Amino acid sequence: MNLTALNAYIRENKRRKFRFCDHDCLTFTNEVWEILFGHMWSPDWIGRYKAFTRPDALQKEYGFKTLEEAIDSKLRRVDGIPPKGALVVTSRARNWSTGLAMGISVGGSGLFLSETGMVNIPIEDCHMGWVE
């Protein structure tokens, strides 16, 4: 896990705002995952956003009823507190029609995107986490 590169990315991009299909929670988490682990966690989802704009479209496009179920198909769900680098979700940050935003655990908080840039949400407010 390349935390030095993650810290550099955060410094350089902390004020970069949420922008749907350009810098949103899916592209952000894939970008950070690539920095940390050398590969994206869901590259095949990039550019296929219609599945995330309406809850029923997620099921039509991918066969999943919830975002959590879709992520479960890619990663292993964490039982307990998500470790650093885990993909996490919350309803307390900028989110899609799924009601959840995706971010990355940075220890005691999850790092998410907002209209003003990156925000930290306490890990207690992150509903679930996933690792490889």
Please list the pLDDT of the chain residue by residue as tens digits (132 residues): 888 999 999 999 999 887 777 778 888 999 999 999 999 999 988 877 655 566 566 666 777 777 888 899 999 999 999 999 999 999 877 666 667 889 999 989 999 988 888 999 999 999 899 999
pTM here is 0.87
Residue 84 pLDDT: 94
Q: Tell me if 88 sits within 8 A of 82, measured CB to CB.
A: yes
For position 34, what pLDDT does the model report? 96
What does the pLDDT read at residue 96?
A: 63
Cβ(97)–Cβ(54) below 8 Å = yes
Side-chain-side CA neighbours of residue 106 (13 Å): 19
What would the two tokens of residue 110 be?
């999850």
